[in-house]
């Protein structure tokens, strides 16, 4: 449901540009403490107002895939166009050059409505602090891990191939990051991945300015201050990779991400074939339109794959075992990738059940979504906590990190953002992208062999 935002509450000067991706610009509220928008961001679409529609699916998607621990509050709001224009005008000096080159946000000239649908979300870049916690320091990070599985047997991940042979012309520096290291559940490989994205952050890593109570800044920094690198390696390793026999604190999330990505990595050709076998009516069902039916299809697509019931939905992927999602040594694919691949091949060979095809493509699109999510990480660094601070932190879903240094305690929480569904029309674009990446990678490799 959309909420019409009272215009009195909307003052462009209260909002500060935080960051943007390909489709949205995010503005953080910097007005008075007593204002209803305190602690919120507006996530405003640039190109077309699909946010509200995608949001509806997000509910189904995150119910199916993530436990509530990794999801946060968000609702659809309608913003008057003059207000959005003023936000973009104020943001101009903060926006990266390559984004400004894309031209004026198309959403401003759609002309069929006098408002734009955006989402109002909890601000995960500054993370609201307990009111009584003067001494708590919050560090906010964003990690965009990309896909940790290989697309083509015996070749590196898509990110690695692209970076090696077909790097994004927007960026001068090449990245040594390998998403498979980030998702490996192995401490030293994880640290290698973290160092690579701290060295060349691009859109894989953002370090937001630290904030203490009373400070408002959340502008992000291009690179990470030297003295913070070791601290982050020490704190993030137990969270994302575990240490020795101790599993990672968010191991269920990583395994869930890999499980969801398994429905996409290596499945491109099958996706085209299954999609080609579908009727126009069935194709409509998987697109993030307005219907509640589509959300139900996405839920059902997950349940069917695991042969599970509706009551198993919340956090279903968190019961998947690491041995099902970690790639096998021989060729780099995992068990779920094979299973999904085989299910798709069966549909292509004998197109008997249209619902199976719809669900297969829905899973493929979910996988593509989960190849592009961001993880927003908040770290609360505090002198030894008392009971009221512990209660305040846990009520905001922070948990303790087993990190020992002097008197300080570190608490963390991780939220998954950018879970908008990908539209089915992208299936053919991904084919082209993969072909280009593979051709460039082989050219590059052949060139090296010759040299
Ligand atoms: O295709 P990729 O892997 O390059 O991912 C695109 C991202 O590029 P990246 O490689 O992360 O720099 C791209 O990120 P940037 O805009 O480059 O920050 C978008 O996330 C894009 O998704 P959408 O079109 O906004 O839904 C992403 O497109 P999808 O492939 O997820 O549709
Ligand atoms: N709730 C939030 N709180 C604070 N910052 C946020 C929030 N959501 C997003 N951001 C910041 O804004 C950036 C852009 O948002 P988002 O990833 O949703 O845009 P997008 O255009 O959909 O991304 P993509 O290009 O990956 O598709 C994020 O990378 C993150 O830095």
Query: Which of 105, 260, 372 for a ligand 1 pocket mutation test, highest count of atoms within 8 Å of Cβ?
Result: 372
Angle at 144 between CA 264 and CA 319, to 5 degrees: 55
- Please check whether residue 247 is in contact with residue 268, taking contact to mean a CB–CB distance below 8 angstroms: no
* Residue of minimum CA distance from atom 14 in ligand 2: 20
Q: How confident is the model at residue 331 (pLDDT cuts 50, 70, 90)?
A: confident
Closest to 192 measured CA to CA, from 155, 153, 154, 160: 160
Q: Tell whether ligand 2 has an atom less than 6 A from the beta carbon of residue 125.
A: yes
Residue with tokens 């299910």: 343
* Residue of minimum CA distance from atom 25 in ligand 1: 22
**What residues contact residue 4 under an 8 Å CB cut-off, 6+ apart?**
77, 78, 115
More confident residue, 232 or 2: 232
Q: Tell whether ligand 2 has an atom less than 6 A from the beta carbon of residue 55.
A: no
* Residue of minimum CA distance from atom 23 in ligand 1: 22
Q: How confident is the model at residue 131 (pLDDT cuts 50, 70, 90)?
A: low
Closest to 437 measured CA to CA, from 196, 156, 22: 156
Distance from the Cα of residue 411 to its chain's centroid: 21
DSSP of 281-319, one letter per residue?
A: HHHHHHS--S-HHHHHHHHHHHHHHHT--GGG-TTGGGG
The token duo for 294 is: 């589509």
Determine the average pLDDT of the residues in 165-185. 90
Answer yes or no: is the ipTM higher than 0.90. yes
| Ligand number with the minimum distance to the CA of 118 | 2
Measured CA to CA, the distance from residue 326 to residue 259 in angstroms comes to 9
Distance 417 CA to ligand 2 centre (A): 7
More confident residue, 6 or 52: 6
Q: Tell whether ligand 2 has an atom less than 6 A from the beta carbon of residue 26.
A: yes
Enumerate the CATH 3.30.200.110 domain ranges in the chain, comma separated: 2-122
More confident residue, 64 or 119: 119
DSSP of 198-263, one letter per residue?
A: HHS-TTTEEEEEEEETT----PEESS--HHHHHHHHHHHHHHHT-BTTBPPTTHHHHHHHHHHHHT
Determine the average pLDDT of the residues in 153-177. 89
- Please check whether residue 243 is in contact with residue 318, taking contact to mean a CB–CB distance below 8 angstroms: no
* Residue of minimum CA distance from atom 13 in ligand 2: 20
Measured CA to CA, the distance from residue 24 to residue 191 in angstroms comes to 30
Q: Classify the phi-psi angles of 417: left when phi > 0, otherwise alpha if psi is within -120 to 50, otherwise beta.
A: beta
Q: What is the pLDDT of residue 125?
A: 87
Q: What is the pLDDT of residue 47?
A: 79
Number of helical H runs and strand E runs in the chain: 16, 12
> What ranges in 78-225 are assigned the alpha helix state H?
81-91, 97-100, 158-165, 179-182, 187-199
More confident residue, 421 or 292: 421
* Residue of minimum CA distance from atom 12 in ligand 1: 203
* Residue of minimum CA distance from atom 24 in ligand 1: 22
Q: Tell whether ligand 1 has an atom less than 6 A from the beta carbon of residue 21.
A: yes
The token duo for 164 is: 């090696």
Distance 253 CA to ligand 2 centre (A): 19
Q: What is the pLDDT of residue 16?
A: 92
Question: Tell me, which fold does domain 2-122 have in CATH?
Answer: Phosphorylase Kinase; domain 1 (3.30.200)
Q: What is the pLDDT of residue 216?
A: 43
Q: How confident is the model at residue 218 (pLDDT cuts 50, 70, 90)?
A: very low
Distance 372 CA to ligand 1 centre (A): 7
Q: Classify the phi-psi angles of 266: left when phi > 0, otherwise alpha if psi is within -120 to 50, otherwise beta.
A: left
Distance from the Cα of residue 377 to its chain's centroid: 12
Measured CA to CA, the distance from residue 386 to residue 261 in angstroms comes to 41
């Amino acid at each position: 449901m959309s909420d019409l935002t009272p215009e009195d509450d909307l003052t462009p000067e209260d909002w500060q540009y935080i960051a943007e991706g390909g489709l949205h610009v995010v503005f953080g509220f910097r007005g008075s403490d007593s204002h209803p928008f305190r602690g919120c961001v507006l996530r405003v679409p640039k190109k077309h107002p699909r946010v509200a529609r995608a949001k509806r699916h997000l509910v189904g998607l995150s119910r199916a895939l993530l436990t509530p621990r990794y999801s946060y509050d968000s609702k659809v709001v309608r913003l008057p166009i003059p207000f959005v224009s003023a936000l973009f005008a104020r943001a101009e000096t903060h926006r990266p050059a390559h984004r400004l080159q894309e031209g004026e946000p198309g959403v401003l000239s759609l002309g069929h409505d006098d408002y734009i649908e955006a989402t109002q979300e909890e601000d995960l870049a500054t993370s609201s602090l307990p009111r009584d916690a003067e001494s708590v320091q919050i560090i906010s990070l964003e990690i965009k891990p990309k896909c940790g599985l290989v697309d083509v047997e015996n070749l590196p991940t898509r990110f690695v191939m692209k970076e090696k042979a077909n790097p994004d012309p927007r960026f001068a520096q090449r990245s040594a990051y390998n998403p498979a290291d980030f998702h490996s559940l192995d401490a030293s490989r994880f640290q290698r991945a973290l160092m690579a994205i701290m060295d060349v952050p691009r859109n894989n890593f953002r370090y937001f300015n630290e904030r203490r109570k009373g400070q408002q800044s959340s502008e992000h920094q291009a690179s990470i201050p030297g003295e913070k690198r070791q601290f982050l390696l020490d704190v993030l390793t137990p969270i994302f990779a575990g240490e020795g026999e101790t599993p990672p604190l968010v191991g269920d999330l990583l395994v869930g991400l890999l499980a969801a990505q398994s429905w996409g990595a290596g499945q491109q050709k099958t996706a085209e074939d299954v999609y080609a076998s579908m009727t126009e009516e069935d194709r409509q069902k998987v697109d993030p339109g307005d219907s509640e039916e589509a959300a139900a299809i996405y839920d059902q697509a997950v349940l069917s794959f695991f042969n599970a019931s509706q009551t198993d939905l919340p956090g279903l992927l968190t019961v998947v075992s690491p041995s099902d999602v970690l790639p096998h040594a021989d060729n780099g694919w995992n068990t779920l990738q094979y299973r999904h691949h085989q299910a798709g091949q069966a549909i292509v060979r004998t197109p008997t059940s249209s619902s199976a095809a719809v669900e297969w493509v829905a899973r493929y699109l979910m996988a593509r979504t989960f190849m592009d999510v961001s993880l927003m990480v908040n770290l609360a660094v505090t002198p030894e906590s008392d009971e009221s601070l512990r209660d305040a932190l846990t009520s905001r879903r922070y948990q303790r990190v087993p990190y020992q240094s002097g008197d300080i305690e570190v608490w963390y929480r991780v939220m998954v953002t950018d879970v908008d569904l990908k539209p089915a029309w992208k299936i053919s674009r991904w084919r082209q992208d993969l072909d280009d990446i593979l051709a460039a990678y082989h050219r590059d490799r052949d060139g090296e062999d010759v040299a």
